[in-house]
Amino acid sequence: MAINHVIIHEVKRDVDGGQVDENLREETNNAAGLAGSLTDDLISLFTHSTLNIGEFAVDGDSELIPPFEQTLLAHYGHLTCNDFVAMTQNMARRYARIMRRPNLQSVKGGLLVFYEYESRGKAWLALAVLQRAEGYNTSADLDLEPSQIIDINKLHLGAAINLTDWEEDLSTRYIKFKTGTAAEVRDYFEEYIGCQRDKQAAILETKNLKKSVQDFAQNSLNLSEDNTQQKIDDVHSFIKEKQKAGEEVKLSDVANRVFPETPDEFLDVARNTYEVGEEIAISNAELKKYLRISGKAGGVSISFDRNLLGSQVIYSEDGKLTFNEIPAALEIEITEELNSRRQYK
């Protein structure tokens, strides 16, 4: 992963209703001078956070081109930007114009960090709106003195556009964005980017979390099918606990709960193979599929995945349950048992 271009502009107001100040750079920041940890932090803002996913649209119409996308089209061709400074200045000035609207006088703005980077063989353009945080530093005489730092690890507002997928029309899921929960902030920032949410995102994230647990349990830990299902049951229980408490479901918390001895290894699979973000949007309908349909009575115990009902498992109105396919090991055991009985007749 590498950052090719980075520039920081500032668009802010100090108090509600105050004037909006613009401080725009005339040249890019030195990307080559970024420490490796800072590069990782910037890229991880759009990897390890919970993000909405979508595409460019105007009022729900993806055939229309919003102003942000128009600016991209004016400056990008074949994944190359002809003037990164001019493009980002244009975007920053439009951000300031939106902030000056009468109904947005409480929006404070902040540092607009634009950067182009490469990740997993794709080119990305990101905008992170970051805030300054109060802190302390020391003078040459080691006296403490107030200081301000950039809160690089906390994404307040931001968007990352997968330029490769966008230019080559490979997907309709090429924007990752975070807009917060306040309606005022969410609405103005989504309008600024011109992004339309993918309503299937929660379904996909919930599915991919389950897949990542199954993959890691079976292929990395070599757990049996039953023990793998126990891990999935544990994830289900954990998510329900979080929902009941009104808390977000975080991937790192899932890792520590379900795989306490190997959380980092699981995180690597979930993030890099299944692209599960840190904070996961949950579809309750999909979450229900984590639990198997099961029952036990009269010496018979039956358990199967819910998604098999209607395909491999058929339930008829007369109360009969038919399995169109059974595990090979079970078939062998049944065959051996029947053959054994015939021998003793």
- The per-residue pLDDT for 53 is 79
Confidence check: pLDDT of 331 > 60: yes
Of 151 and 211, which is predicted with more confidence? 211
Residue 84: in which H helix or E strand, if any?
helix 84-99
**What number is the average pLDDT over the span 232-259?**
88
Question: Across 46-50, 72-76, 273-277, 330-334, which has the greatest mean pLDDT?
Answer: 72-76
- Name the least confident of 53-57, 155-159, 218-222, 243-247: 243-247
What percentage of the chain has pLDDT greater than the value 70? 86
306: Cβ contacts below 8 Å, ≥ 6 apart: 288, 289, 291, 292, 293
Burial code (b: 16+ CB inside 10 Å, e: under 16) for 32-50 equals: eebeeeebeebbbbbbbbb
Q: What is the pLDDT of residue 142?
A: 62
Nearest to 197 by CA among 65, 57, 67: 57
Q: First vs last Cα of the chain: how many Å apart?
A: 70
Tell me the C-alpha to C-alpha distance, in Å, between residue 190 and each of 21, 56, 277: 22, 10, 20
Query: pTM of the prediction?
Result: 0.62
Q: Across the chain, how many H-helices and E-strands are there?
A: 11, 18
Whether 336 shows a pLDDT value over 70: the answer reads yes
Q: Residue 77 in 3-state DSSP?
A: strand
Percentage, residues of the chain above pLDDT 90: 42
Six-digit token pair at 206? Answer: 């919930």
Does the structure show a pLDDT above 90 at 27?
yes
Is pLDDT larger for residue 137 or for residue 159? 159
Q: Which pLDDT does position 135 carry in this prediction?
A: 65
What is the widest separation between alpha-carbon atoms in the chain?
98
Confidence band of 267 (pLDDT split at 50, 70, 90): very high
Residue 67 CA to residue 73 CA, distance in Å, equals 10
What tokens appear for 336 in the block? Answer: 């051996």
Q: How far apart are CA 118 and CA 290, in angstroms?
A: 34
C-alpha 129, offset from chain centre: 17
- The answer to whether residue 141 scores a pLDDT higher than 70 is no
Q: How confident is the model at residue 260 (pLDDT cuts 50, 70, 90)?
A: very high
Pairing of strands 313-315, 321-323: antiparallel
Rounded to an integer, the average pLDDT of 155-184 is 83
Model pLDDT, residue 185: 79
Q: Does the structure show a pLDDT above 70 at 320? A: yes
Please report the pLDDT score of residue 54 as a whole number. Answer: 84
Greater confidence (123 vs 50) lies with: 123
How far apart CA 125 and CA 113 sit, in angstroms, is: 11
Q: Give 11's pLDDT tier (boundaries 50, 70, 90).
A: very high
Backbone angles phi, psi at 77, to 5 degrees: -155, 125
pLDDT at 96: 96
Record the tokens describing residue 54, joined without a space: 């979508």
Question: φ, ψ for residue 49 (rounded to 5)?
Answer: -105, 160
Cβ atoms 108, 99 nearer than 8 A = no
